[in-house]
Amino acid sequence: MARTLEFYFDYGSPYSYLADTQVEAIAKRTGATLARKPMLLGGVFKSTGNHSPAELPQKSKWSGFDMPLWARHYGVPFQRNPFFPVNTLALMRGAAAAQLDGVFDRYHPAVFRAMWVEGRNLNDIKEVAAVLTAAGLDAQRFGNRIQEQDVKDRLKATTDEAVARGVFGAPTSFVDGQMFFGNDRLPFVELALKGALP
């Protein structure tokens, strides 16, 4: 039976970017369906009492060493964003809009690349517009869409769903209702998709 890999993420999470570079290949290898689920990580933190690792100097220092190791391990480009932290509300609403409007395949890689490969200032609306335009998207339309109620409702619903399922950070994956937190749990995600977990 084909399984589904549910992948909750936020563009402000570098480990979400790293994991995102791998999930399509994992789904393909296991014959699974990949369901990317954009959520607002700030909303998850608020609901669960969790905090960004960036707020903890020791953890931030450690991740500064750890993340480039994972990028090298995966063979993918990565650089820490000099404008971090970024308020991702507009970006995550944009992801919800892109899914609703059928252009997620262009929007999603462009935003992750701008954030964690090109190190662009996605706090700046003009910079976001330039990223979207380069991806062949209508930046002005996106600017309007993220203010519309169906988009706001979708992002809120996905975020609330994540919290209800026990999510406390990003990235978080689910296979058959089993939760796997973090980029480093992807080997277990793959085993679960193969039905090979002990």
Structure confidence by residue, pLDDT tens digits, 130-166: 999 999 999 999 999 999 999 999 999 999 999 999 9
Whole-number pLDDT of residue 35 = 98
Sheet holding 172-175, edge to edge: 33-38, 4-9, 172-175, 178-181
Residue 47 has pLDDT above 90, yes or no: no
Mean pLDDT of the chain: 94
**What band does 175 get if pLDDT is binned at 50, 70 and 90?**
very high
What pLDDT is attached to residue 54? 67
Which CATH architecture fits 4-193? Answer: 3-Layer(aba) Sandwich (3.40)
pLDDT at 45 over 90: no
- Among 64-73, 79-88, 101-110, the range of highest mean pLDDT: 101-110
User: Range with the lowest mean pLDDT among 37-51, 64-78, 102-116, 136-150?
Assistant: 37-51
Whether the CB-CB separation of 37 and 6 falls below 8 Å is answered with yes
Averaged pLDDT, 82-102:
96
Average pLDDT over residues 118-139: 97
Which position has the higher pLDDT, 57 or 25? Answer: 25
Neighbouring-strand partners of residue 4: 33
* pTM > 0.85: yes or no: yes
Q: Is the confidence at residue 55, as pLDDT, over 70?
A: no
Look at the chain and count its residues.
Answer: 198
Predicted local distance difference test score (pLDDT) of residue 36:
98
> What pLDDT sits at residue 49?
76
* Stretch 8-27: mean pLDDT: 98
* pLDDT score recorded for residue 114: 98
Domain-wise residue ranges, the chain: 4-193
Give the model's pLDDT for residue 48: 78
Question: For a pLDDT cut of 70, what percent of the chain falls above it?
Answer: 97
Rounded Cα distance between 74 and 76, Å, is 6
Mean pLDDT for the stretch of residues 167-173? 97
Phi, psi (rounded to 5 degrees) for 26: -65, -45
What phi and psi values does residue 138 have, to the nearest 5 degrees? Answer: -85, 100
Cα torsion for 23, 41, 59, 81, to the nearest 10°?
70
